[in-house]
Chains A and B, each alone.
Chain A
Amino acid sequence: MHLSILFPAIINGLLTGAIYALIALGLTLVYGVLHIINFAHGALLTAALFAAFFLHKLFGIDPYVAVFILVPAFFAFGYALQRFVIGPASHGDDGNILLVTLGLSVIIENALLYAFRADTRTIDLGYGFSVVSVAGMFLSAPRLAGFAGAVVVALLLWLLLTFTDTGKSIRAVAKEKLGAQLSGIDVAHVYAVTFGLGTACVAIAACLLIPTYYVNPHVGNAFVLIAFTTVVLGGMGSIPGALIGGLFVGVVESLSGLYLGESLGQIGIFLMFILVLLFRPSGLLGELA
């Protein structure tokens, strides 16, 4: 394959991978602490995309500005979901948590379908098509912003977890729930905060994704499997793992798409995923804390 295609393909993979990383960051945090696989993650992404869309359509708010509105809003939404729906309904049982999040994803997706119909919606932003010319390649400016965003969010999350009290409580609960409880940490609250953080990450991903993508009630589903793959690959619960995992998945997807065709190429991600798990079961960077 000629270098003139190979090199841009790798760069494309990194840019796409950044979005995967952003979506996976929230998922890995939730898994690392609550040990639940959040089936509703895709639906939450869809909801965030709709929110970003309507903020632009009704109020003219640019997605990059909308981030600051949606992050607290979705944090609250996620907190409430865990505190008042998932936690109580599942009674702590893994199988039930799975089903509750599954139920939530059905509700969210179909509520959006009912409220807004199935039309595919896009935002037309002035800078949506703007490109940055680098070494003969045309790189989409919004996607570059997405890449920067992923790195920044990963860094912020890591800082939050390492240096703040909330972060320390979260890590304590992740490591040893009973011990944390005995030291006076309100586990239910920490769980809810974690879920809220995970949902807020998804909101950021949505704002960074919407300039170059589209919105409809089923759009999140396309990202769910990739997000799970990224999380496990990077190591469940590892923030740097989700970032690196996402970028890695993006590049693998891009290269296997290039060599095997876009359809068969999808197999690259899953084969790599299987191989990594068979030989390194805890993922590239292991567990949280």
Chain B
Amino acid sequence: MSNNNNRFSRRKFLQTSALTAAAAASGTLVAPSIVRAQGSAVKVGLLQPVSGALSYSGQQGRLGASIAVDEINAAGGLKGLGGAKIVPVLGDAQSTPDGGNAEVEKMNSAGVSAIVGGYASAICLATTQTAARYDLPYIVDVGVTDAIVTRGLKNTFRFGPGFGVLAKTALANLVAINDKAGKPAKTVMIVHEDSAFGSGLAKLLNAQLPGKGFEILETIPHPTPTRDFNNVVLKIKAAKPDIVIPANYYNEYVLLARTMQQQKVRPKAAIYSVLGGAASSYKFVKEFPEAAQYIMDCNHWFDPRNPKALALKRKVEAQGQFFTYEVYMNYSAVLLLADAINRAKSADRAKITEALASSTFAGHVMPYGPTKFVNGQNEGAAPANTQVIGNDIQVILPEAFASAKPVYPLPPV
């Protein structure tokens, strides 16, 4: 074609400039735009999935972390650095691993000294890995998959319990409760959501329950979201297990519990949830008091006798929010970080990592044993057993933190 050369050069020019413009634009946008903190401030990344499918948990997590930051700053900042303030760098993981990943990169470019958060296991796996490239200390707030702390990443710390501990404790507590009541329960049915946490938990329970004298009648996985639980409840009705063990997220748990109530299906001994989405949720208890009655949960929980925890609860509820586990776990994680920075007397990443690894932090609000990090996992972390009694959630185990005795087996209707 006679005008081939013209077309080639113009097109190339336009395309190249479009690409360059795009790259340049992206460069200015992705590069740190946050005002550089003055020498007397420490930047901390708070990463949560505040939009997308996990947005509720993400927003609760951000709330807990933000309250902790505000409290520390109001009380005079980081004492170990002469009162330096914490400057939070907020990030939205958009409920995906690549979203979380991009935020870690941005936070690193912004010069954060550490990152707290992630929430979901899938997101945490990606974000901790990326943070490891920069030796950026990362405190996982919730994410329970054991793989998070078994990859040998020196920068990764998890203050809360992982799967293994959760399943073991849940089982031990179930056996204890059952034994104490004279072993009224023998058969079990597990209803779990089919992604990382539900499947992982179900696998562990399936491996360990028979050894403790329980017979598993059926294990029912279900997707998140599940629109209807009538068939699941039919199966429960037909199998008549002594105990039903649900492990799923809030929405599905609510649907399951409501459907059971509607179909008048009630296990003989208990609904014993492990990491139940709504089983230890004030929101659930408030909105469905009848369906929630006597449900047990082995889950993340706060120390009910700790005045700091109760003060936090009042603060959160005064804001019109529910006191959910994401709130106090993130609150504790930020306090843990602040303590480490204070002990390290530095905002240097390597020093903070060292301080975390040797931390024995006790100023948190969780019902844990003494803090001790081994390979990034806090060995003192443990779940608590709760039960909904009289429209409130009581802790029934461990006895050291208990506020009530378990009601087991379920009283006759």
Partners in one complex: yes
Is B230 positioned at the interface, with any CB of A under 8 Å from its CB? Answer: yes
Is A129 positioned at the interface, with any CB of B under 8 Å from its CB? Answer: yes
Asked if residues B232 and A122 are in contact (CB atoms below 8 Å), the reply is no
Is B180 positioned at the interface, with any CB of A under 8 Å from its CB? Answer: no
Asked if residues A258 and B287 are in contact (CB atoms below 8 Å), the reply is no
Q: A119-B56, A261-B221 are in contact. Are A222 and B234 (CB under 8 A)?
A: no
Binds B, one of A69-77, A164-172, A213-221: A213-221
Residue among A113, A221, A262 making CB contact with B55, cutoff 8 Å: A113
Q: CB-CB < 8 A to A186: which residues of B?
A: none
**CB-contacts of A78-99 with B (<8 A):** none
**CB-contacts of A134-168 with B (<8 A):** 138, 140
Q: CB-CB < 8 A to B223: which residues of A?
A: 262-263, 266
Q: CB-CB < 8 A to A222: which residues of B?
A: 225, 227
CA distance A140 to B56 in the complex (A): 29
Asked if residues B261 and A129 are in contact (CB atoms below 8 Å), the reply is yes
Is B215 positioned at the interface, with any CB of A under 8 Å from its CB? Answer: no
Q: A12-B230, A122-B287 are in contact. Are A4 and B222 (CB under 8 A)?
A: no
Is B238 positioned at the interface, with any CB of A under 8 Å from its CB? Answer: yes
Q: CB-CB < 8 A to B9: which residues of A?
A: none
CA distance A171 to B70 in the complex (A): 62
Q: CB-CB < 8 A to A257: which residues of B?
A: 231
Asked if residues A216 and B221 are in contact (CB atoms below 8 Å), the reply is no
Is B20 positioned at the interface, with any CB of A under 8 Å from its CB? Answer: no
Q: CB-CB < 8 A to B288: which residues of A?
A: 122, 124
Asked if residues A9 and B238 are in contact (CB atoms below 8 Å), the reply is no
Q: CB-CB < 8 A to B230: which residues of A?
A: 8-9, 12, 15-16, 254
Asked if residues A263 and B194 are in contact (CB atoms below 8 Å), the reply is yes
Is A65 positioned at the interface, with any CB of B under 8 Å from its CB? Answer: no
CA distance A9 to B234 in the complex (A): 8
Q: CB-CB < 8 A to B250: which residues of A?
A: 120
Asked if residues B56 and A118 are in contact (CB atoms below 8 Å), the reply is yes
Asked if residues B53 and A218 are in contact (CB atoms below 8 Å), the reply is yes
Residue of A nearest to B277 (CB): A120
Is A5 positioned at the interface, with any CB of B under 8 Å from its CB? Answer: yes
Residue of B nearest to A119 (CB): B56
Residue of B nearest to A254 (CB): B231
Asked if residues B238 and A4 are in contact (CB atoms below 8 Å), the reply is yes
Q: A122-B287, A222-B227 are in contact. Are A2 and B221 (CB under 8 A)?
A: no
Asked if residues A262 and B221 are in contact (CB atoms below 8 Å), the reply is yes
CA distance A117 to B56 in the complex (A): 7
Residue among A8, A118, A119, A120 making CB contact with B234, cutoff 8 Å: A8
**CB-contacts of A102-132 with B (<8 A):** 110, 113, 117-120, 122, 124, 129, 131
Is B258 positioned at the interface, with any CB of A under 8 Å from its CB? Answer: yes
* B262 → A minimal CB distance (Å): 5
Is B264 positioned at the interface, with any CB of A under 8 Å from its CB? Answer: yes
Asked if residues B231 and A258 are in contact (CB atoms below 8 Å), the reply is yes
Binding site of B, secondary structure by majority: helix, strand, loop or mixed? helix
* B189 → A minimal CB distance (Å): 13
Is B371 positioned at the interface, with any CB of A under 8 Å from its CB? Answer: no
Q: A122-B287, A138-B264, A261-B221 are in contact. Are A223 and B227 (CB under 8 A)?
A: yes
CA distance A226 to B223 in the complex (A): 14
Residue of A nearest to B227 (CB): A222
Asked if residues B55 and A118 are in contact (CB atoms below 8 Å), the reply is yes
B interface size (C-beta, 8 A)? 34
Q: CB-CB < 8 A to B254: which residues of A?
A: 120, 122, 214
Asked if residues B227 and A16 are in contact (CB atoms below 8 Å), the reply is yes
Is B263 positioned at the interface, with any CB of A under 8 Å from its CB? Answer: yes
Asked if residues A110 and B51 are in contact (CB atoms below 8 Å), the reply is yes
Interface size on A, as a range, is 35 or more
* A120 → B minimal CB distance (Å): 5
Q: CB-CB < 8 A to A5: which residues of B?
A: 234-235, 238
Asked if residues A16 and B220 are in contact (CB atoms below 8 Å), the reply is no
Is B59 positioned at the interface, with any CB of A under 8 Å from its CB? Answer: yes
CA distance A219 to B58 in the complex (A): 17
Q: CB-CB < 8 A to B52: which residues of A?
A: 218
Q: CB-CB < 8 A to A258: which residues of B?
A: 231, 235
**CB-contacts of B227-261 with A (<8 A):** 227-228, 230-232, 234-235, 238, 250-251, 254-255, 258, 261
Q: What 1/0 mask marks residues of chain B from 284 to 296 whose CB sits below 8 Å from any chain A CB? A: 0001100000000
CA distance A254 to B231 in the complex (A): 7
Residue of B nearest to A130 (CB): B262
Asked if residues A129 and B238 are in contact (CB atoms below 8 Å), the reply is no
CA distance A15 to B58 in the complex (A): 34
Asked if residues B59 and A214 are in contact (CB atoms below 8 Å), the reply is no
CA distance A261 to B241 in the complex (A): 18
Asked if residues A214 and B231 are in contact (CB atoms below 8 Å), the reply is no
Residue among B51, B231, B232, B263 making CB contact with A138, cutoff 8 Å: B263
Q: CB-CB < 8 A to A117: which residues of B?
A: 55-56, 59
* A20 → B minimal CB distance (Å): 9
Is B226 positioned at the interface, with any CB of A under 8 Å from its CB? Answer: yes
Asked if residues B231 and A9 are in contact (CB atoms below 8 Å), the reply is yes
Supply 20 further A-B pairs (C-beta < 8 A) apart from A213-B255, A216-B56, A262-B223. Answer: A4-B238, A5-B238, A9-B231, A12-B228, A12-B230, A16-B228, A113-B51, A113-B55, A118-B59, A119-B56, A120-B251, A122-B287, A129-B261, A138-B263, A214-B251, A214-B254, A218-B55, A254-B230, A258-B235, A261-B221
What residues make up the interface of B, taking CB atoms closer than 8 Å to A? 51-53, 55-56, 58-59, 194, 220-223, 225-228, 230-232, 234-235, 238, 250-251, 254-255, 258, 261-264, 283, 287-288
21 CB-based A-B contacts, threshold 8 Å: A9-B230, A12-B230, A113-B55, A117-B55, A120-B254, A131-B262, A138-B262, A213-B255, A214-B254, A218-B52, A221-B225, A222-B227, A258-B235, A261-B220, A261-B221, A261-B222, A262-B222, A262-B226, A263-B194, A263-B221, A263-B222
- In order of increasing CB-CB distance, the 9 nearest A-B pairs are A118-B55, A262-B222, A118-B56, A12-B230, A222-B225, A263-B194, A263-B221, A16-B228, A129-B262
